[in-house]
Amino acid sequence: MGADNVSWVNEFILLGLSTDQQTQTGLFVLFGATYLLTLLGNGLIILLIWLDSRLHSPMYFFFSITSGVPQMLAHFLMEKKTISYTRCATQLFFSLALGGIEFLLLAAIAYNHDMAVCDPLQYVMVMHRGMYVSLAIVSWLIGLINSAVETAVTVTLPTCGRNVLNHVACEILALVRLACVDITINQIIILISSVIVLLVPCCLVSLSYAHIVAAILCIHSTQGRLKAFGTCTSHLTVVSMSYGIALFTYMQPRASASAEQDKIIVLFYSVVTPMLNPLIYSVRNKDMKAPLRKVIGRSSA
């Protein structure tokens, strides 16, 4: 390919989910309501952690810092769904960074559960404030560095003037598909990144829960087993959703992937999963229920 034909674009056009205006309005209402519920739910969890000293523990510290949808909502109401090159790169960077950080923090929470269930006598000594702050900082650093590398090698790909992005957002796989040059290096980097921030944390979580299950089975009291399992169910539910969706998206063979499939998966992960997190952590968690009832009681008094 000649040098004159290798070029970059100043903006991208997002095809979204539908070209029908009524359908797009309906999607805006649906996802807008879901996004508001997500903000309220996560905001409530952070408020409860801040108000109740019993929740000032390593696990809830990770929850409070785990908390592109507005841009996507705006596009549902726009006739021409364009996004500038700079905004697209920014959106890609933050989506990759926050996703990677979340996967790493989920592994840190699994380690916290492992220590709490399997070695409660050493738990307070090991999981002190310095330890969980360090785990959080390392998770953020790895997530940000990984995102910076992936974003840099993706947004510098020439598209030869092609700027129609068959997606609802600036997603890495959709951007790579636009490239008009060899993308082998990008595919290798995506694979390495998936191993570092996805597969390795997933394996660590699996090992932690295998250790936890083995320890729980050694507990003779039925009530003790149920209490130990109850400590982990909320986190395990979120882990299953988060890792399951991401592994299905980024670890499957490229030939079997489709743009429409990617759209649905990204929407579910970006909108639905964050909305379910507050419900899972509050409804199924006894530590959360008590301060929640207290807050509701104060507001109704």
Q: In this predicted model, what pLDDT tens digit does every residue of 233-257 receive, in sequence order?
A: 777 777 887 788 777 776 665 545 5
The predicted pLDDT at position 145 comes to 96
Instruction: Take residue 171 and report the two structure tokens written for it.
Output: 């997603």
Helix 129-155 vs helix 58-66: angle between axes, to the nearest 10 degrees?
30
Pairing mode, strands 82-84 and 11-14: antiparallel
Among 4-8, 150-154, 178-182, 257-261, which is the least confidently predicted range? Answer: 4-8
Binned at pLDDT 50, 70 and 90, residue 288 comes out as low
Q: What CATH number is given for 12-277 in this structure?
A: 1.20.1070.10
Mean pLDDT of 102-127: 84
pLDDT at 166 over 90: no
Q: Which residue has the tokens 């649906």?
A: 30
H, E, C per residue of the chain:
CCHHHCCCCCEEEECCCCCCHHHHHHHHHHHHHHHHHHHHHHHHHHHHHHHCHHHCCHHHHHHHHHCCHHHHHHHHCCCCCEEEHHHHHHHHHHHHHHHHHHHHHHHHHHHHHHHHHHCHHHHHHHCCHHHHHHHHHHHHHHHHHHHHHHHHHHHCCCCCCCCEECCCCCCHHHHHHHCCCCCHHHHHHHHHHHHHHHHHHHHHHHHHHHHHHHHHHCCCCHHHHHHHHHHHHHHHHHHHHHHHHHHHHHCCCHHHCCHHHHHHHHHHHHHHHHHHHHHHHHHCCHHHHHHHHHHHHHHHC
Instruction: Take residue 272 and report the two structure tokens written for it.
Output: 């639905």
pLDDT-above-90 percentage for the chain: 11
Instruction: Take residue 25 and report the two structure tokens written for it.
Output: 């309005």
Which one has a higher pLDDT value, 43 or 106?
106
CA neighbours closer than 13 Å in the CB half-sphere of residue 53: 0
Binned at pLDDT 50, 70 and 90, residue 204 comes out as very high
Q: Which of 250, 231, 202 is nearest to 106 (CA)?
A: 202
Mean pLDDT of 200-219: 87
The predicted pLDDT at position 53 comes to 58
Distances (CA, A) of 21 to 25, 129, 166, 167, 266: 6, 52, 17, 17, 21
Question: What angle (nearest 5°) sits at the alpha carbon of residue 154, between those of residues 152 and 158?
Answer: 110
Domain ranges of the chain: 12-277
* Count of Cβ atoms closer than 10 Å to residue 125 Cβ: 10
Q: Do residues 177 and 262 lie in contact, with contact meaning Cβ atoms separated by under 8 Å?
A: no
Binned at pLDDT 50, 70 and 90, residue 3 comes out as very low
pLDDT at 283 over 70: no
pLDDT at 219 over 80: no
The predicted pLDDT at position 251 comes to 65
Among 99-108, 110-119, 238-247, 270-279, which is the least confidently predicted range? Answer: 270-279
Among 27-41, 142-156, 195-209, 287-301, which is the least confidently predicted range? Answer: 287-301
pLDDT at 135 over 50: yes
The predicted pLDDT at position 298 comes to 56
Q: Share the mean pLDDT of the chain.
A: 76
Binned at pLDDT 50, 70 and 90, residue 112 comes out as confident
The predicted pLDDT at position 248 comes to 74
Which one has a higher pLDDT value, 130 or 231?
130
- Mean pLDDT highest for which of 38-52, 182-196, 265-279? 182-196
Q: Positive or negative CA dihedral for 262, 263, 268, 270?
A: positive
The predicted pLDDT at position 284 comes to 56
Mean pLDDT of 257-268: 70
* Count of Cβ atoms closer than 10 Å to residue 269 Cβ: 17
